[in-house]
Structure formats: structure tokens, C-alpha cells
Amino acid sequence: MSDIKRIFYEKFGREADSFYFSPGRVNIIGEHTDYNGGQVLPFCINLGIYAAVRFREDTNVLIYSDNFSNLGIIEFSLDNLDFRIERDFANYACGILREFGKRGFSIKSGFELAIYSDLPVGGGLSSSAAFLDLIGKIVIDRFGFDLSNTDLAWMSKTTENEYIGVSCGIMDQFIIANGKKGNAIRLHTDTMDYEYVPIPETDFQFILINSNVTRKLTESKYNERQRETQAILRELQKHVPINNICDLAPEDYKIYERYLFGMNLKRRLLHLLNENHRVTETIFAIAENDYTSLGQLINESHESLKNLYQVSSEKLDELVDLGRKAGSLGSRMIGGGFGGSTLNVVLRQDIETFIQRFTEMYQKEYNQDPIIYLVEATDGVRKIND
Ligand code: GLA
């Protein structure tokens, strides 16, 4: 906090008047289901973006990120929010600010904003959704717009989809807007119904390993998976009245796979139906303190993402392997895939041995230290006191 206060003062020559924190997220299970009407089980983490802000009299917006200090202060006016390559990451801000206008909410004054993030960029922990929700939240608070957290999530998602050009689902923006300390959220993306799921953090620890392979979702095969699943849905709808692929149950696979052309589409379908079901099973396992089953489900999810949905990578597979050898109950890649981080579920009493073993094996394999984060479930995007 004191860092972001100081950074703001150094850059803008006056004190900020409010401070925010916008967290990253981890999804326990339910991967790639969110754009197929399925369920997800994410939580907000204790890593994220710290922000200091002060509104102005005029319509200029000035943004400085300490993580991209080489870019200096990026400046634009509320009167021109078009995507411009030289605005770099600040395009996300332009995009969501424009979204307010499109929905009839007029933003009268610009602002100065300094941010610092301890989220690894491209670490698969949703730094872009954290940034979008952050800007949205600051504006909603300032002007008192009548918009719910879920409205905020949709505005951020629309910005990603239409302005940035990533066809992502609603999970990341939603959890960052709605997260609650000590809880994950089970979100049904078909109805947008959700419930909080307490995480018994006294029993086990979620440990992330950053693969250090950054991938940009826009450049990855993420959009390709979107197109594939849309093709699957169109084909299935000729034979069964469903709105989403995840309306089907795992046992329906046998009935409907024959209508799909080619092995890849069949694989994608199988992943989605099983993965969606694994969310329900995971919630049971957590509620019953059955951590062996929890670990197994996490492991199955990884195998499915690797072999059926085919969004893993060599490095992610290696890290998952090391995690299991180091004594996790279960390990898997998380998020969009092709890079980012792995999630390891480790019993509390095994944390130290896990870290020690993992570090030794990693150093031997890669000749460097691993990047390890112990994460906890925190509140979503919020104003903080200085
Ligand atoms: C990315 C997207 C999410 C979701 C995950 C995969 O994080 O932003 O909407 O699709 O990938 O589960």
C-alpha cells in the first residue's frame, strides 16, 4: 500500500485520494466449461493489482503501471476511447470506459491512476480481468452508477470479447467482481446462478507454480476451441434440444458422439461433459473432507485438458508431474492453457516437504529456482483504506 501511494505521488506530484485492490483468480476445477454453459469453481487470490487513483476536473485519463515503467504515463481523453496500439495495456481501460458509454452511463471526468501488480503477467491468473474489473469498480464507486457486481463482470467480459478480441467466457470477470474471503464460487454459467463454497483452508493448501511460459490468449488456440465448441453445439442441436453443450450428462456422450465429425470434436465433447460433472463431484469431496477424491478429480481434470481438450503444454505437463512426485494430492494446469500456472493441492502438514522436494527436482531439471505461490481465497475487487 505505501508503495503504491509513493508511486502515485512520484508520478503525478500530488496525493491519491482512494486506493483499490483487484485480485487474480484460480479455478479449482471446471476448465473451458464457462463458454459452454457449464459450471466453474474459482476463487480470488491474495495476489493482484494495487491501485491509487485521483479524479480530475477535465476529461483526461493518465495511467502509470510500475510493472511497465518503460511505457511511462499513458494518456488519453474520454472523448477518444478507440483502440490504439501505442496505448498498450491501457487499451483495456479505454475499452471498459467505452462500455459505460455504450450502456448510457456518462463518465464526466478523467483520472490519474497508478498501479502495481504482484500477479505474474501471462501467469494464467487473470491479470487482464483483474485490471478491467478494477477500472470498472473505480468508476462505479465514484459516480454511484446503479450497476451490480455481475453487471460489472459482463461489462468486462464484453470488453475482452469485442474490444480486445479474446472470446473468453465469464468466469474470470465474475469471480473477481464477486469473490469472498475463505470461499470459492460455484457459478452455473447457463443461468448465472451461483453459490459460495467454503474452502477448508485449515486442512489443505493450494499451491501455484508459475511455468514462466507466458501466452497471450489472443495468440493461442483459445479462440479455436471456442469455434470448435460452437460447431459441436450446432451439430448436436440437430439431434437434441439443448442450449449449451454442458446441458448434456457424461453418459450422453455415447449417444451423441457419432454425430460429430473427426476425433478432435469428439474429444472436446468428452472433456466438457466429464469436466462439468467433476465440478459437482469436487464440491461433494470438499464438503465431505474427502481430500483423496479431491486430488483425484484435480488429476483427472489435467489428463482431460491434456489429452482431450489439448490445451496443455510440455512444460505444464512436466510441472504437474513434479507436483505429484513432490507429494501433492492432485496437480493440474489451470486457466486457458498453453502456459500460465499449475495448481497443486497439498495437505497442510505436507507443505514444507512439498516445497522442498519440488524445489530440489525443479532445480535439477531446469537449473533455476521454481516460482511458487501459496494462495488463499480472498475478497473480490475492493476499495482499501490507506
Ligand atoms: C480463460 C478464460 C476463461 C475460461 C478459462 C478456461 O481463463 O478467460 O473464461 O474459459 O480460460 O476455463
Extents of the domains making up the chain? 2-23+46-178
**Residue 115 in contact with residue 90, Cβ under 8 Å?**
no
pLDDT value at residue 219: 59
Q: Give the whole-number percent of the chain exceeding pLDDT 70.
A: 98
Return the half-sphere exposure (C-beta side, CA atoms, 13 A cut-off) of residue 123: 20
Alpha-carbon distance of 61 to 63, in angstroms, equals 7
Tens digits of residue pLDDT in 99-141: 999 999 999 999 999 999 999 877 889 999 999 999 999 999 9
Q: Name the DSSP class of 262.
A: S
> In the predicted model, what is the mean pLDDT of residues 201-220?
80
- From 29, 34, 92, 154, mutation site for ligand 1 pocket: most ligand atoms within 8 A of C-beta: 34
Instruction: Report how far ligand 1's centroid is from the alpha carbon of 14 (Å).
Output: 38
pLDDT value at residue 208: 97
Number of Cβ within 10 Å of residue 68's Cβ equals 16
Looking from the CA of residue 31, the nearest atom of ligand 1 is 12
Tens digits of residue pLDDT in 21-57: 999 999 999 999 999 999 999 999 999 999 999 999 9
Looking from the CA of residue 337, the nearest atom of ligand 1 is 11
63 pLDDT tier (thresholds 50, 70, 90): very high
Task: Output the nine-digit C-alpha cell for 134.
Answer: 478494477
Q: Is the pLDDT of residue 176 over 80?
A: yes
Helices (H), the chain: 2-12, 91-102, 127-143, 149-158, 171-178, 222-237, 253-256, 263-287, 291-307, 314-325, 351-366
Tens digits of residue pLDDT in 303-318: 999 999 999 999 999 9
Instruction: Report how far ligand 1's centroid is from the alpha carbon of 32 (Å).
Output: 6
Cβ 125 under 6 angstroms from ligand 1 = no
pLDDT value at residue 121: 74
Q: Indicate if 386 belongs to the active site.
A: no
Cβ 275 under 6 angstroms from ligand 1 = no
Instruction: Report how far ligand 1's centroid is from the alpha carbon of 155 (Å).
Output: 16
Letter for the amino acid at 207? I
Q: What is the CATH number of domain 2-23+46-178?
A: 3.30.230.10
Instruction: Report how far ligand 1's centroid is from the alpha carbon of 154 (Å).
Output: 14
pLDDT value at residue 285: 97
pLDDT value at residue 221: 83
> In the predicted model, what is the mean pLDDT of residues 161-187?
96
In the numeric block, the cell 499451491 is attached to 207
Q: Is the pLDDT of residue 216 over 90?
A: no
Tens digits of residue pLDDT in 344-376: 999 999 999 999 999 999 999 999 999 999 999
Nearest CA-CA partner of 155 in 166, 143, 147: 147
Nearest CA-CA partner of 346 in 367, 359, 323, 329: 329
Nearest CA-CA partner of 233 in 251, 218, 248: 248
Helix, strand, coil percentages in the chain from 3-state DSSP, rounded to 5? 45, 20, 30
Looking from the CA of residue 169, the nearest atom of ligand 1 is 9
Task: Output the nine-digit C-alpha cell for 116.
Answer: 502495481
Q: Is the pLDDT of residue 275 over 60?
A: yes
Q: Is the pLDDT of residue 2 over 90?
A: no
What integer best gives the mean pLDDT of the chain?
A: 96
Alpha-carbon distance of 93 to 291, in angstroms, equals 41
Handedness of CA 115, 118, 123, 126 (dihedral sign): negative
pLDDT value at residue 45: 98
217 pLDDT tier (thresholds 50, 70, 90): low
215 pLDDT tier (thresholds 50, 70, 90): low
**Residue 376 in contact with residue 199, Cβ under 8 Å?**
no
